[in-house]
Chain A
Amino acid sequence: MRKKGLLYLVILLLLWAVFAYLFRDSALESLTEKTLQLIAGAKVEVDHFNFSLFDMKCSWDRLQIANKNNPWYNVIDVGYTSFDIETRPLFWKKVIINEMIMEDAKSGTRRETDGSLSRAERSELFTDKDGLVNRVKDALEKQFGELPVFDLKALRQKINVDSLIDIDQLSSVQGYERLMSTADSSLGYWRSQLDPDVYKKRINDLETRIQAVNIEGVRDITTLTTSLQNLNSIYEEVKTLREEVNSKHTAVESTYDTLQSQLGDMKERLNEDISEAQKMAKLQTIDVKDVGLMLFGQPAVNQFEKITEYIALARKYLPMSQGADVEKEAKTPRFKGQNIYFPFKYTYPEFLVKNISVSAASAAGDTGMAYFLKGNLKGLTSQPYVYNNPTRFDLGLEKIGGREYNILGSFDHITEVARDSLWINAKNIALGEINLKTSKYFPQVLSTEEGDFALSGFFIDNFIKINADLEASDVNFLFDETATDQVSRLVQDVLSGLSTLVIDANLIGESSDYKLNMKSNVDNVLGNQIKGILDKNLQEARQQVETYIRNQVDEKRNQVEQLINSSKKTFYAEFENAREKVLEKYNEIEQKKKEIEQRIEEEKAKAKEKGVDAIKDLIKRP
């Protein structure tokens, strides 16, 4: 063994150690910051990240996550935190942390720098384009767009329906046009099929042939038999013609039945068009259940969208199994070789924190105002389908004086179908001022002292069911405008007399069909009274739209009906005529056939008699 070699090795090791010492911690620190920034959507700062290779311990002195909505404040500010990293999984480049304890965590601390992300950093953030959030957003926007408008002034004015509705685009008008073209082509076909000349010619031809069979004076059985055969052949043709006429008659009847039934369907379409046009003109009849939606729908939608965003974020960073094997056969290009996989007894996800315990207090120095947060998060992993356990969290936030929040959740992404659930319970919480939907009839702000709030949400793939209940006391509605008409006066009177507000909101749906339902303790009283005021004007406006559409559509309907009915009489008459004539020929042949058959029988009898007499004469002859 040579000493020189050992020296080389020592130098190499020293260089590596210095390099690792200088760059390791800052690289890990930057990686942690960047990863958390993508999730938080705001600046994340880690101070003095330290990773000790010898005992596999990690720690930081401080972790700050800025509030993306208020970037000069931190949403969480954690002090010294240390945790162990399991050594064995590191060989497979997997990071497994057993226990992470975050003590001395604070919320709402003021930052020294702005916590908003730069434009470049923001562009890397997670967006749920065409995903769950947008689908919910679109569905709810549509639902809100269809809500009736309480505009008394507008209702009293004459609606310009012509500018509101494109008659040619109405489903009933298009239907009548299609029906017109169908009727035109079907009746044209039958017109060609039922050409009276064709039938007349055929009937006359048969008549001539029947007349040609003349048996007057014929006593010869053979001639009579030949005449009968001719008659039979004509008889077969008449029979065929009769069947043909009958079957065509049935077919024409069926065509008319179909056209009539389609005409009947159009009436339903017309009703649909009328109600659609009334919807477009925001003239739906007022439903009591819409009152809650119109009043409190927007803040509820904002909250539900926020929750859905968090769910989508969790699905992005805790991805579901895509149905493939965890260790699938690698498609390595040739010459780089192929990795052969053997049964692996360890199931290590790429990244896993088995348990995070958090205990925190708000930044406020006064303990009477301080919040205390306690909770844990279990199974935070980048590969839930490998870890085979859902990510669960349980957070409790309490304030001296009785205010408390409890958030429980589970993100089950073990299989290809994500099953997420969330429960939020809040008691005696300060609700403050809630912005409501802008409308001149409704309040702009709901101000309330305290309230209880409960929410449960279930998210299975695209299926969403969120239920939220709010009970608030000492409510006060703030209006921007003074009441000018009956409706706004009524709304202000009803709402100002309210001291407690109870709301039950429910979002349910699948794929792109999500519906928000809301019930509140003001629905009935407000809904019925508004309805009473608006009903007369509303009914008149609705009638105006209906009359306009009916008039426009009736014109089309009359054209189609005229086409169908006018041809119907002619066709049926032609048919009757053809049928009668064919029947007449049929009966005539029958009659003639009987006559010939009788004559043949008579001639046969005569011949028989003659034959008997002749035999007798022969016998008598000696």
Chain B
Amino acid sequence: MFWLKIISNFIKAFRSGEKPWQIAAGFGVGFIIGLLPSLTLQGVLLFCLLIFFNINMAAGTLGLILSNIIAYPLDPIFHDIGFFILTGIPALENIWTSLYNMPIAPLTKFNNTVVMGSFVAGLILYWPVFWGMKKLVVLYRSGMEQRINKLKIVQIIKGSKLVQLYFKIRDLGGK
């Protein structure tokens, strides 16, 4: 039921309540955390960000789950990106060496190619994800829901048992 609650909260936030940027920011932060392959200091800090700031946690959790799923097949790409950043840019070598000698380094696992690649990819993708999600929320609230509901195909789908379950989930969070 925990997952249903998250989805319900997310749908609830999507339909009304929090501002679109709060949902988009929560989703974006969760998205970055989800891309990271293991528990790292930067992951914990981003999680604190999600807890402390007034951004949507349900969206953050969903973003985390979704990005975690897509991150797995993308790991080889993250490895290549991380490998290039850590070894292919001579100008950064001194920075990495200094960081490597700081006590904080083992906690960030920055010298791991997949950690570095996925973190950088997460930071780069944050803005497109943020704007995309914000736009989606605005669109959804500005009448997209009604237009979608009027479609014949939607009427048929709504009658199905699966969609009835969806309504039940949605109503768990209150209409």
Contact = CB atoms under 8 A, between A and B. Distances in A.
Interface stretch (A217-225, A330-338, A540-548): A330-338
Given A93-B106, A335-B79, A342-B111, A6 B101 contact: no
A92 interface: yes
B137 interface: no
A87 B103 CA distance: 9
Contacts of A334: 75-76, 79
B54 A346 contact: no
A381 to B, nearest CB: 20
A91 B101 contact: no
A346 B112 CA distance: 20
A54 interface: no
A341 B107 contact: no
Given A335-B114, A337-B115, A342-B96, A9 B51 contact: yes
B76 to A, nearest CB: 7
A619 interface: no
Contacts of A343: 97, 100
A9 to B, nearest CB: 6
Interface string B96-123: 1100110111110001111101000000
A576 to B, nearest CB: 87
Interface stretch (B4-12, B80-88, B162-170): B80-88
Given A336-B114, A337-B112, A9 B48 contact: yes
B3 interface: no
B79 A5 contact: no
Given A1-B52, A344-B100, A338 B106 contact: no
B113 to A, nearest CB: 4
Interface residues of A, number: 24
Contacts of A340: 83, 86-87, 96, 111-113
Contact of A335 (B76, B87, B100): B76
A230 B101 CA distance: 101
A169 interface: no
A616 interface: no
Query: Which of A5, A6, A334, A342 has the most chain B CB atoms inside 10 A of its CB?
Result: A342
Contacts of B101: 342, 344-346
A339 B76 CA distance: 14
A189 interface: no
Interface in A304-357: 334-346
Given A91-B104, A340-B86, A5 B112 contact: no
A91 B107 contact: yes
B173 interface: no
B79 A338 contact: yes
A569 interface: no
Contacts of A346: 101
A2 B105 CA distance: 30
A19 interface: no
A142 interface: no
A8 B51 contact: yes
Nearest to A345: B101
Contacts of A1: 52-54
A536 interface: no
A5 B86 contact: no
A88 interface: yes
Query: Which of B75, B96, B113 has the most chain A CB atoms inside 10 A of its CB?
Result: B113
B52 A338 contact: no
B108 to A, nearest CB: 11
Contacts of A342: 93, 96-97, 100-101, 111
Contacts of B115: 337
A144 B80 CA distance: 66
Interface string B24-59: 000000000000010000000000101111100000
Contacts of B76: 334-335
Contacts of A5: 50-53
A337 B79 contact: yes
Nearest to B112: A337
Contacts of B51: 5-6, 8-9
Contacts of A93: 106
B72 to A, nearest CB: 8
Contacts of B107: 91
A130 to B, nearest CB: 38
Query: Which of B51, B87, B115 has the most chain A CB atoms inside 10 A of its CB?
Result: B51
B88 to A, nearest CB: 11
B73 to A, nearest CB: 10
Nearest to A87: B103
B106 A336 contact: no
A93 B86 CA distance: 23
B87 A336 contact: no
Nearest to A8: B51
B23 to A, nearest CB: 15
A337 B52 contact: no
Interface in A89-109: 91-93
A338 to B, nearest CB: 5
A1 B50 CA distance: 10
Contacts of B52: 1-2, 5-6, 9
Interface string B67-80: 00000100110110
Contacts of B53: 1-2, 5
Nearest to A4: B51
A345 B99 CA distance: 12
Nearest to B114: A337
A337 B37 contact: yes
B97 A338 contact: no
A530 B48 CA distance: 90
A92 B106 contact: yes
A225 B114 CA distance: 102
A335 B75 contact: yes
A9 B48 CA distance: 8
Contacts of B72: 335
Nearest to B104: A91
Query: Which of A6, A340, A341, A345 has the most chain B CB atoms inside 10 A of its CB?
Result: A340
B75 to A, nearest CB: 4
Contacts of B50: 5
A157 to B, nearest CB: 78
B100 A338 contact: no
Contacts of B104: 91
Contacts of A92: 103, 106
A340 B50 CA distance: 30
A344 B106 CA distance: 12
A91 B96 CA distance: 17
Contact of B37 (A336, A339, A341, A344): A336
Interface of B: 37, 48, 50-54, 72, 75-76, 78-79, 82-83, 86-87, 93, 96-97, 100-101, 103-107, 111-115, 117
Given A341-B111, A345-B101, 6 more contacts: A1-B52, A2-B54, A8-B51, A91-B104, A92-B103, A337-B82
16 contacts: A1-B54, A5-B51, A5-B52, A8-B51, A91-B105, A91-B107, A92-B103, A338-B79, A340-B86, A340-B111, A341-B100, A342-B93, A343-B97, A344-B101, A345-B101, A346-B101
Per CB-CB distance, the 7 closest pairs between chain A and chain B, nearest first, are A337-B114, A5-B51, A91-B103, A342-B100, A337-B113, A337-B112, A335-B75
